[in-house]
Amino acid sequence: MSTSDFESVRIGVVSISDRASTGVYEDKGIPALQDWLGRALHNPIAWETRLIPDDQAGISATLIELVDVAGCDLVLTTGGTGPALRDVTPEATLAVADKVMPGFGEQMRAISLHFVPTAILSRQVAVIRGKTLIINLPGQPKSIAETLQGLPQATPAVPGIFAAVPYCIDLLHGPYLETVDTVCAAFRPKSAQRPART
């Protein structure tokens, strides 16, 4: 079965870093997100990538552009969610929100607390603007994968946040996202599930 058999999805990926955006070091956030999502979804993905500095007005403007102009169904950011003075991604995200989705941030911190006590310093948020879900993710590639995928090897297993993303996008009348179960199995109520492909 080819990717053409699945609905396409437009995903915005935003890496927020003063140093990476000015070329001081190579950005690793965008490649990490594209790698994980490329493995997790059967759907063909149209990418909208942005590498920008830690500037609140600039972050908000980028999110508005990705949603209102580029027409992204999902926007994921990485970086700028800690307590440092230049970390303003949550504030910039909340400033463009129509609805706040606090469960995403709560679950990301719960996952990260399995590894480091400083996870309580993380301030990731998720919001809805219009018909688009926007999620702030951690800055480190390893943490990005852990929070998206969860900890299936833990006892009991800890679900990642991406398991809830497809159904959330369903409720926003977006494309039907179909996940690769070995990476991250999407959860939907039975009434929202489409027949399994053969």
Is the pLDDT at 72 greater than 90? The verdict is yes
Query: Domain spanning 3-192: which superfamily?
Result: MoaB/Mog-like domain (3.40.980.10)
Pairwise CA distance, residues 176 & 98, whole Å:
22
pLDDT band for 183, please (50, 70, 90 cuts): very high
3-state secondary structure of 5: helix
Pairwise CA distance, residues 163 & 184, whole Å:
6
Q: Convert the pLDDT of each residue in 60-69 to its tens digit.
A: 999 999 999 9
Q: So what's the pLDDT on residue 158? A: 87
**51 within 8 A of 20, measured Cβ to Cβ:** yes
- For the ranges 63-67, 117-121, 141-145, 152-156, which has the lowest average pLDDT? 152-156
- For the ranges 20-24, 35-39, 179-183, 190-194, which has the lowest average pLDDT? 20-24
Residue burial 105-140, b: 16+ Cβ < 10 Å; e: rest? bebbbbbbeeeeeebeebbbbbbbbeebbbbbbbbe
Backbone angles phi, psi at 11, to 5 degrees: -120, 125
Q: So what's the pLDDT on residue 157? A: 83
Is the pLDDT at 3 greater than 70? The verdict is no
3-state secondary structure of 178: coil
pLDDT band for 4, please (50, 70, 90 cuts): low
Q: So what's the pLDDT on residue 123? A: 96
Q: So what's the pLDDT on residue 168? A: 98
Is the pLDDT at 160 greater than 80? The verdict is yes
Task: Tell me which of 158 and 71 has the higher pLDDT.
Answer: 71
Please report the DSSP string for 88-130 in residue order. Answer: -HHHHHHTT-SEE-HHHHHHHHHHHTTT-GGGGG----EEEET
Q: Does the pTM exceed 0.85?
A: yes
Name the packing angle between helices 29-40 and 141-149 (round to 10°).
30
